Structure 1
């Protein structure tokens, strides 16, 4: 099951919500919700997360995730490593810089006394994501306008044509 499937299920649960996210949805977004039978090989983790093995090795070299090895030296991704990688890939997709991720992971590893700084980082990043969403919404509206100008179909049903 690829990360898009995991995220798709979590996001589907969001469609009927008007208020804060329920804890179950947050757990799905933050982790794998028990769907992963760890440990995973690098090929399995790569497929699940929809990133290249090169990216997984890069995250490991950058100190973002600890990966175990089997007796032959092959990487084995624990459920904890996969949960962290889901978070990391979501943060990278949303534009968080590698240096910020490295700082965040260092704070996590430093312990609970760093929670206020981690919270500040995530609040700031949330504001950035919200700004990006507003900007993308405006870009989508401009694109939809032009499509309609040329006689094309707009809205969600237009996505099914691809």
Structure 2
């Protein structure tokens, strides 16, 4: 199935301006009809979902651009793309570890306040 930019915007929950920005930055390359209008396919839906996932995990836009360029080249870049993802996974795991440490410290402080409040009452 093919989608107009408006349909694709609704389907992906991204604004038309965001889609145009992604195109300008080389993250997506929609097909064009003879009249020049963009159209998107199911492959684009899957690709946008992956871009959104990378953004949610705080991958820098420059890295997503690099990944997108390699993806556009084709299967010969699979190893390079995997390396990008492995590197990002390492960074993400470090962030998770830090977040868990911070959560633990917050829990300790909350427990301290609970004890202090219960003791004073």
Superposed displacement of residue 141, structure 1: 1.8
Structure holding more helix per residue? 2
Structure 1's unaligned 5+ residue stretches are: 1-37, 152-162
Structure 2's unaligned 5+ residue stretches are: 115-121
Q: Which of these residues, 130, 138, 141, is aligned with residue 93 of structure 2?
A: 130
Q: Which of these residues, 43, 64, 88, is aligned with residue 101 of structure 1?
A: 64
Which protein has the larger Cα radius of gyration, Structure 1 or Structure 2?
2
State the secondary structure of the residue aligned to 1:150: helix
Runs (4+) off by over 4 Å = 69-75
Cα deviation digits, residues 25-71 of structure 1 (max 9, x gap): xxxxxxxxxxxxx4344454444444433222211111111224568
How many equivalent residue pairs? 114
CA distance in 2, matches of 1:94, 1:125: 9
Classify 1:144/1:117 alpha carbon distance in 2 versus 1 (closer, same or farther; 3 Å): same
Q: TM-score, normalised by structure 2?
A: 0.75
Larger relative contact order (Cα-Cα within 8 Å, sequence gap ≥ 6): 2
Q: TM-score, normalised by structure 1?
A: 0.58
